[in-house]
Amino acid sequence: MSNKNKILIIDSTTNRREELCKLWSVDLGYDVVFSAGVDLFNFHDDTEVTLSDLINSPPIACLLHQNDKRRYDDPERRKLLDSCRRVVVFGGAGISGRGDWPDQWFWIPRAISGKASANYRQWKQLADWFSSESPLPADKIDLLSRLNEPRFLIAIHILCQGFVVGDRLRERLPTAVEQTHNRKWWCVPLVESVGDSLINTVQNEWGPDMPESLAILVKWISGETGYENIDLPRIVPAVKQEIENRLSK
């Protein structure tokens, strides 16, 4: 029997799964068992593994793509995933916040498209963390702490820049003025990601003392009652400046 650490990789996208399996097997020295959805296979020789065998000798970790999360609904598979020491959910387009998965699961909150999504050091750090008996807290692991980047503040800053530029370049970008003054333009990228919790997400990224201008803009984007009519040409440049000051601290 192999003394290597074992990992289970569940991903129904073939290319990405193969890249990840190769990375964990060849580069990181793990025994890899993979599943495209239903059946389980050893990566090194493509032999099938039974679910019961794997439950009896569970992997120390499981990497699970967010689109394959429904596999957890099956009671037998749930038993298998629950037997893994750590489960990390990852997503092709990035995951913005914690999903409806068990509290003890971790997630990589930004785009993970395959092996090249992170550098070797970051993958190695995750691999060592999986196998460690006295591991560092998850927020010390680069791939798991991507959550800390103020992505929504950056996104709002970029959208503010678009608004200001759209107004300035009316001739070059004739449709931009109309687009950027429309709530849908702001709402689609931001609200699509977090739904009702946009204000909380932005507040968390900002920390204490969030400026009123930013709060007003976010409430307008979220469609909050009482914020239907705001003075965008006045508020947007102010928000842009506030975010620049905040992010350059």
Partner 1 sequence: MPEWNELRARLNHDLVKNRLIPGTTRMIRIVSGSVLADPLETFDSTIATVWTETSPSLQLLFDTCESALSPRKYFLVEPLVHCPPSTMEWLPDIIHELWLERHDIPGWCSTGKLLVEELDTAVPNARNLLELNNGISQTVDLVEIFLDLQKRTTNLSIHLSLIERKSLL
What is the binding site for partner 1 (CB under 8 A)?
Answer: 93-96, 109-111, 119, 142, 151-152, 154-155, 157-159, 161-162, 165, 169, 173, 175-176, 179, 185, 188-190, 192-194, 243-244, 247-249
Q: What are phi and psi of 24, to 5 degrees?
A: -70, -30
The least distance separating partner 1 from the CB of residue 148, rounded to whole angstroms, comes to: 11
The least distance separating partner 1 from the CB of residue 28, rounded to whole angstroms, comes to: 18
The whole-angstrom separation of Cα 151 and Cα 97 is: 11
Please identify, using beta-carbon distances, which residue of 79 and 181 lies nearer to partner 1: 181
The least distance separating partner 1 from the CB of residue 11, rounded to whole angstroms, comes to: 19
The least distance separating partner 1 from the CB of residue 178, rounded to whole angstroms, comes to: 10
Q: What distance lies between CA 75 and its chain's CA centroid? A: 26
Q: Which two tokens stand for residue 248?
A: 């350059």
The whole-angstrom separation of Cα 76 and Cα 191 is: 35
Q: Is 186 exposed, middle or buried (0-12, 13-18, 19+ CB in 10 A)?
A: buried
The least distance separating partner 1 from the CB of residue 41, rounded to whole angstroms, comes to: 31
The whole-angstrom separation of Cα 63 and Cα 237 is: 42
Please identify, using beta-carbon distances, which residue of 1 and 172 lies nearer to partner 1: 172
Q: Do 162 and 178 meet the contact criterion of CB atoms below 8 Å apart? A: no
Amino acid at 230: I
What interhelical angle do 198-206 and 183-194 show, nearest 10?
Answer: 80
Please identify, using beta-carbon distances, which residue of 185 and 227 lies nearer to partner 1: 185
The least distance separating partner 1 from the CB of residue 238, rounded to whole angstroms, comes to: 16
Please identify, using beta-carbon distances, which residue of 58 and 162 lies nearer to partner 1: 162
Please identify, using beta-carbon distances, which residue of 7 and 176 lies nearer to partner 1: 176
Please identify, using beta-carbon distances, which residue of 5 and 193 lies nearer to partner 1: 193
